[in-house]
Structure 1
Amino acid sequence: MKKVCLILAGAMVLLSGCVKDWLELEPKSEVSGDVLFETPEGFSIALNGIYTNLSSATLYGQELTHGMVDVLGRCYELKNTTVYDPLKNYDYVSLGMEQRINAIWALAYTTIANCNGLLEEMNKKGPGFFKEHERARLEGEVLSIRAMLHFELLRLYAPAPVVQDAEAIPYYTKLSHVPMPEKRTSEILQLVIADLTRSKELQKGFDKYGAGKDDFVRFRFRFGTDQTFFGTGKRGFRMGYYATTALLSRVALYAGNDQLAYANAMEVINDKKDDNEPTISFTSATVIDVGEYDRLLSEDIIFALYRLDYEEDFNKVTFLLPNTSQIFGSDLNSDYRKKCYLTSNGTQLLKFDVEQDREGDITSAIPVMRLSELYHIAAETLYDTDPDGALALLNTLRAKRGCTIPLSAIATKAAFEDAIINDARREFVGEGKLFFQYKRLNKTILDETGGNQTLTGKFVLPVTER
């Protein structure tokens, strides 16, 4: 049995910060668990520390977004990302890469341990400790984060289900100093789905209705009138109901459960406000055409993480992109994603450029889930039963991104998957999606020379310090 080295928070020593300005994520001190969990605000401080871990460079602040996994997906000219030089040949054991790979594993499981510790502390509190909705929202968010991290570990360190249902990773549902046995990929996916399903049930009473939903629409990435952690503002930076639903769709697709994936994708796509307008929509063409857009095209971001220095760190490296003309094809001059995400010549990624004026308070955001991904999922899972409907979904997304020439009928599922991958290359550069897309389908990867990389064995990262 492989061992997992967990930094278990026996005394639950977690990062604390200012409760009112919780999203600043600037840890100021450490607080023992005995003191921290005397009030609901203490639980918010502990969860704040968990979000801090998620947004670190080791996880979504770099390696799981624009860093390692996008390099593995051949999104960049590797000669300009020298820190990842060994990955040109998918060399995972060189010292620098080995350390990075082990660090992802260690911090992810440390954060899972903190999630479990927080859940156990919640279970010690009696009725009345939390106000209405506070406990359900807190438990739901923690379950979703625990599920998300197990899923990322599975996608990195185990073969895709289409290749092998092998013993993969341990799944931790409680604090334990005893290493848990590895479970098969199919078992891990069912545990992830169970956590996310439970989280949806807990959170729907707040996020789906009334003031919670109204403020999700109005203040997704900024504060409303209530600036506390348990307020209704900035829910786009939290693993709330819509983020959990989107993640469940992603996980179900990976598990091969097309029906569940489609249902959850369409739930978010079809969700409406009181005025019957979509709850989550796309950045308007009229905004982009007058040059008042933010480069992130942030209107359709369902869930993002937050790190104050994220954009500044991103701009320290020049990310050059290959194959732009090949990827955009006849949409080269119309697709908004080229205009917004890249330099005018299409060779450099500027999606997170700090010099770009942005609307609202979307700076320092790290996109994790978008509505566009749900269109991809819904289209792929619909193809077998309704290829025309699937194509209509993909063309709807393309039109929302400025493409003026609809795709014609696509005769085979494999070719349709290739069309989605092409759109994903435009949509998710810098966001860590491409490598996992290729892996799930066991597809060859378009590399920076215009050739293809067959990676069935190399899709699985090794861990030397478990």
Structure 2
Amino acid sequence: MRNRINNYGKSLWFGIVLLTLAACNDWLDVDPKSQVKDKDLFSSEMGFKEALSGVYSIMTQEYLYGKEMTFGMLGVLGQEWDSQPTDYTDDLNYKYENTRPEVRIDSLWCGLYNAIANTNKLLEEIEGKESMFTGINYDMIKGEALALRGFLHFDLLRLFGASYAENPKKAAIPYVTAYTSNIYPQDSVGGVITKVLGDLTASLDYLKNDPILTGKIVTETDDNGYLLNRQVHLNYYAVKGLMARVYLYKKDYQNAALCASEVIESGRFEWVKQENLTNAKMADLTFSTEHLFALNVVNLGSRAEKYFTGGNLGFALDETNLLEYYESAQDYRYLYQFKSGTGLSNSLRYLMKYDQLTGDVSTSWPDSYRNKMAMIRLPEMYYILAECRHHTSGDVLGALNEVRRHRGVTELSESDLVNFDALLLSEFRKEVIGEGQLFFYYKRLNSLSIKRTDVDAVGSGVYKLPIPKDELQNPGWVSNK
């Protein structure tokens, strides 16, 4: 099946997300009825709002960030778990060519490019329609769409391209910027990063009036509250945080530090307070106040019940290893984000980040705590700042200790900086368990090995998921290996 990436989404219309990924070729034919729906959808401001929501909805699916790119496949590849479902055995051993990993990898490729196709369709349709929108909604929607295109391509690069540390000139993935059937060539790693930063920079021009930046108070009476809850959108500061992540990937420490510092100094994101964690019936389990950007996963509770309880489908850590992760039993993350297994699983500890309260107690649980799956969080900005200062100049300890102070653990001293790389890895992995970022951390550094496994990660090509075989039939395409 050739040139699938430029056709994903053509048999779908925005607002309806019915992707199974069982067969990507089911999407290739354009349904005349869908074309009519597209025309209707993009004839109003509400239609564009639904279209943007549809892209976010695609991202929440289990084959993308709703599981595989957070606690599922990416968690397994990062060696985060002591126990995982048996159908991840090949993933755990990096046998990407075997059936189950191959299906998951194909779904990642298909799903991310489908989201990009939908984003490109929105961007194509919104051009020149400023008069259709009220207030700043045209700028907000276009800005978010540009940012989403950059976000999605960057994660495709982190999955399928070589790391920048390995070879910035190596052929990686296509950067698709139009809703078209034309075949896009593979870009180099460096080329993709340049285009990601181009889209993100362009998005900031449209997001300069974002309420999260300007401080404008938005209420339910303002356009039905459309611009409320900016943390579940790729808002201005989320884009800045993403740019810090991208600049760090390409070892541009100066710009990475500037972007991370802007987020930190904004004061828009508050550290979670211990008093909001101690009451299990009211706990902010995902530390939601620290989210720069999170997905709203409407059925997150059922996924938590399915994957973070005892049984064959569970992802868990052994108690001994969990304490090794966190060093101190007083660490808020250790204390409040894990629960014990039962029966034969009583030595296992299950992540509670994604648990959702039910029954009578849930009625008083704040909406801001519900159904949140973090994509970018405040602590990462401090870790980026510390790493940048390590490579340039500045107070490394101050950045690291700011996180530790808000996690209930003792501060580090100068003597702890003797092996900075090992220290930063230890600090980072405490924060991101179940979020998919640990594997990307190892890849960014092109680490020779991944903690808790003796596999030669670089020599075995662990960091580059194989591009689906059908795509390599496109003229001029080459294997990413």
Q: For the superposition of Structure 1 and Structure 2, which TM-score range results when normalised by the shorter chain?
A: 0.7 to 0.9
Tell me the CA shift for residue 32 of structure 1: 1.0
Q: Residues of 2 paired with 1:436 and 1:10: CA distance?
A: 31
Q: Residue by residue, what CA displacement relative to the aligned partner does 1:191-220 show, whole Å, maximum 9, x if unpaired?
A: 0011111111210222355454x45xxxxx
Q: Is 1:179 matched with 2:174? A: no
User: Of the candidates 94, 104, 107, which is equivalent to residue 98 of structure 2?
Assistant: 94
Alignment of 1:323-362 (within 5 A): 323-329=321-327, 332-343=328-339, 347-355=349-357, 358-362=365-369
Aligned-pair Cα RMSD in Å: 2.4
What is the distance in 2 between the residues matched to 1:455 and 1:64?
Answer: 19
- The equivalent residue for 2:271 is 282
Residue 285 of structure 2: aligned partner? 295
Partner of 1:393: 399
Name stretches of at least 5 consecutive residues in structure 2 with no aligned partner: 18-32, 308-313, 341-346, 472-481
Q: Which amino acid aligns with 1:302?
A: L
Q: 1:378 aligns with which of 385, 388, 396?
A: 385
Residue type of the alignment partner of 1:162:
A
User: 1:218 aligns to what?
Assistant: none
Equivalent residue for 2:159?
A: 156
User: TM-score scaled by structure 1?
Assistant: 0.86
State the number of aligned residues: 429
Kept after mapping to 2: 8 A contact 1:391/1:407: yes
* Counterpart for residue 298 of structure 2: 308
Matches within 5 A, 1:105-184: 105-125=109-129, 127-165=130-168, 166-184=170-188
8 Å CA contact 2:288–2:372 kept in 1: the answer is no
CA distance 1:210–1:377, change in 2 (3 Å): closer
Q: Work out whether residues 50 and 115 of structure 1, in 8 Å CA contact, stay in contact via their aligned partners in 2.
A: yes
Compared with structure 1, are the counterparts of its residues 41 and 422 closer, same or farther at alpha carbon in structure 2 (3 Å cutoff)? same
Note the C-alpha offset of 1:81: 2.0
Residue 56 of structure 2 aligns with which residue?
A: 51
CA gap 1:92/1:247 in 2 versus in 1, 3 angstroms: same
Name the aligned partner's letter for residue 199 of structure 2: D
1:200-349 equivalence runs, <5 A = 200-210=204-214, 212=216, 214-215=217-218, 224-226=219-221, 231-271=226-266, 278-289=267-278, 292-317=282-307, 318-322=314-318, 323-329=321-327, 332-343=328-339, 347-349=349-351
Residue 380 of structure 2 aligns to a residue whose secondary structure is helix
Letter paired with 2:235: G
* Structure 2: distance between partners of 1:269 and 1:123: 34
Shift of 1:296: 1.3
CA distance in 2, matches of 1:226, 1:424: 41
Q: 1:73 — aligned with what? A: 78
1:412-427 pair list within 5 angstroms: 415-427=419-431
Structure 1's 148 and 85: CA in aligned 2 closer, same or farther, altered over 3 A? same
Distance 1:192 1:6 in 2: 18
For the residue of structure 2 that corresponds to 1:446, the secondary structure is coil
Residue number in structure 1 paired with 2:28 = none
Q: Give the letter for the 1:186 counterpart.
A: G
What is residue 6 of structure 2 aligned with on the other side?
6
| Cα 1:304/1:209, change in 2 over 3 Å | closer
Matched position secondary structure for 1:63: coil
Q: 1:210 to 1:190 in 2, by over 3 A?
A: closer
Contact 1:252 1:258 in 2 (8 A): yes
Aligned-residue sequence identity (percent) comes to 29
**CA distance in 2: counterparts of 1:53 and 1:268, whole angstroms:** 27
The alignment partner of 2:467 has SS state of coil
| Unaligned ranges ≥5, structure 1 | 18-28, 216-223, 272-277
CA deviation vs aligned residue, 1:344-398 (integer Å, no higher than 9, x gap): 67732222122486443422111111001111111111112335x0111001111
| Mapped partners of 1:370, 1:205: distance in 2 | 22
Whichever residue aligns with residue 429 of structure 2, its letter is R
SS at the partner of 2:430? helix
Shift in Å at residue 287 of structure 1?
Answer: 3.2
Instruction: Provide closer, same or farther for how the CA distance between residues 66 and 394 of structure 1 changes in structure 2, counting only shifts above 3 A.
Output: same
Contact in 1 for aligned 2:56/2:295 (Cα 8 Å): yes
Q: TM-score, normalised by structure 2?
A: 0.84
Change (3 A) 1:120 1:229: farther
Q: In the TM superposition, what is the alpha-carbon distance from 1:4 to its structure 2 partner?
A: 4.5
What are the superposed Cα offsets for residues 221-250 of structure 1, whole Å, 9 maximum, x if unpaired?
xxx424757722121111111111111111
- In the TM superposition, residue 421 of structure 1 has moved relative to its aligned partner by 1.4
Secondary structure in structure 2 of the residue aligned to 1:348? strand
Deviation at 1:337, TM superposition (A): 0.5
For the residues of structure 2 that align with 1:310 and 1:209, how far apart are their CA atoms?
Answer: 29
Instruction: Tell me which amino acid in the other structure corresponds to 2:387.
Output: E
- Whole-angstrom distance in 1 between the partners of 2:10 and 2:323: 54
